[in-house]
Amino acid sequence: MTSASPSEVSTYSVIGCGLIGASWTALASATGLRVQAWDPSWADAPRNVAQFQQRVAEAKTQLTELGLQGDGTIVICATLQDAVTGTDWIQENAPERIELKIALLKEIEAIIPAATMIASSTSSLLWSDLAAGLTQPKRFILSHPFNPPHLMPLVEIYGMTAEIRQRAADFYRCLGRVPVCLKREARGHIANRLASALWREAVNIVATGIADVADVDLALTNGPGLRWSVIGAHMAYHLGGGAGGIEHYLRHLGPSQERRWADLGAPQLTSEVCGLLIDGIAAEAGGRSIAELEQQRDAALISALKLRQSARNEPV
């Protein structure tokens, strides 16, 4: 069905070169692949090309720290046709607008052989939304990275068959990622559903005056967030059940967990709530710019990932 297997992928096309596209480009080049990159904005604005190249260079510097020192050629393509010709794997990272993505995917499909793999980085659209317009949907997959994509290990994968999902997982593993395959499609996949569920309560805690934005974040990074970097939520409840594990937990504490669920909030992002969040973030940032915060986040992530590489902090 597909022409690509991990060892066969030597040319990788990045279509849509904003933050996500720049991350994929850096990662693929750093693992030695040839990258053919294209963005529709480049024709009119050469400075967008320069910005892309700078982002890629910065990401590659960070990846060098993690031992990914490959230097695959990066080709800045003038047309979509150029970018997807002679490629093994296409990664689409257009804005999250369904009509735009469907049209782009159709356009790609009209150029390439029937077996070339096409992957969409979509965070919020469904496979079936995007595959509907394709003549060869079997070779089309979702592969959603987690921000910032060149650093975060997770890639969530969905495709039509278990075989194609496995093939995709093998490829992203070659890019140094940790692939997780969905058994059925779902809006927000896994990670953003979890993040969204947590943030709903984090907003509720601020909205109902239990704690300020900065204190919610402090509790998370020193409590559950730290723990979830080394052990999953399900496994944490297994260990929370003592010697009897998850069975004991569910039998004895399941009802109290259900009561706690019933007590969680369902806030709306009213202008008042948005005001609390914006003021709270300003207090937490304490004058640090977005760029400074991103640098601090990335430095901390790189340290955490190095620790994992040394196998002293492997998730349980």
**Residue whose pair of structure tokens reads 């990159």 in the numeric block:** 37
Output the smallest distance, CB 144 to a second copy, in A. 10
Please report, as residue ranges, which positions from 111 to 130 form the binding site for a second copy (by CB under 8 A).
Answer: 124
Handedness of CA 236, 242, 245, 250 (dihedral sign): negative
β-strand partners of 34: 11
Please report, as residue ranges, which positions from 166 to 195 form the binding site for a second copy (by CB under 8 A).
Answer: 178, 180-184, 186-195
Report the C-alpha gap between 203 and 197 in whole angstroms.
10
Output the smallest distance, CB 315 to a second copy, in A. 4
* 206 part of the interface to a second copy, by CB under 8 A: yes
Q: Which is nearer to a second copy, 20 or 112 (CB)?
A: 20
Question: Cα 228 from chain centroid?
Answer: 17
47: exposed, middle or buried (Cβ count in 10 Å: 0-12, 13-18, 19+) = exposed
* 297 part of the interface to a second copy, by CB under 8 A: yes
* 263 part of the interface to a second copy, by CB under 8 A: yes
The two structure tokens encoding residue 146 = 């987690």
Pairing of strands 11-15, 34-38: parallel
Please report, as residue ranges, which positions from 93 to 112 form the binding site for a second copy (by CB under 8 A).
Answer: none
The two structure tokens encoding residue 85 = 């010709």
Q: Which of 110, 161, 226, 309 binds a second copy (CB under 8 A)?
A: 226
Angle (CA) 274-278-280 rounded to 5° is 115
Half-sphere exposure of 294 (CA within 13 A, CB side): 11
For the chain, the distance separating the N- and C-terminal CA atoms, rounded to the nearest angstrom, is 36
Q: Name the one range near a second copy by CB under 8 A: 42-50, 86-94, 130-138, 238-246.
A: 238-246
Question: Cα 13 from chain centroid?
Answer: 18
**Residue whose pair of structure tokens reads 């975060």 in the numeric block:** 152
Q: Which amino acid, 63?
A: L
* 304 part of the interface to a second copy, by CB under 8 A: yes
Report the C-alpha gap between 131 and 139 in whole angstroms.
10
Q: Which of 1, 78, 103, 274 binds a second copy (CB under 8 A)?
A: 274
* 55 part of the interface to a second copy, by CB under 8 A: no
* 242 part of the interface to a second copy, by CB under 8 A: yes
Q: Which amino acid, 202?
A: A
* 227 part of the interface to a second copy, by CB under 8 A: yes
Output the smallest distance, CB 282 to a second copy, in A. 9
Q: Name the one range near a second copy by CB under 8 A: 26-34, 42-50, 160-168, 302-310.
A: 302-310
Output the smallest distance, CB 33 to a second copy, in A. 22
* Site size for a second copy (CB under 8 A): 108
Output the smallest distance, CB 262 to a second copy, in A. 9
Q: Which of 69, 73, 79, 208 binds a second copy (CB under 8 A)?
A: 208
* 269 part of the interface to a second copy, by CB under 8 A: yes
Report the C-alpha gap between 1 and 138 in whole angstroms.
8
Q: Name the one range near a second copy by CB under 8 A: 36-44, 54-62, 128-136, 202-210.
A: 202-210
Q: Name the one range near a second copy by CB under 8 A: 30-38, 47-55, 72-80, 211-219.
A: 211-219
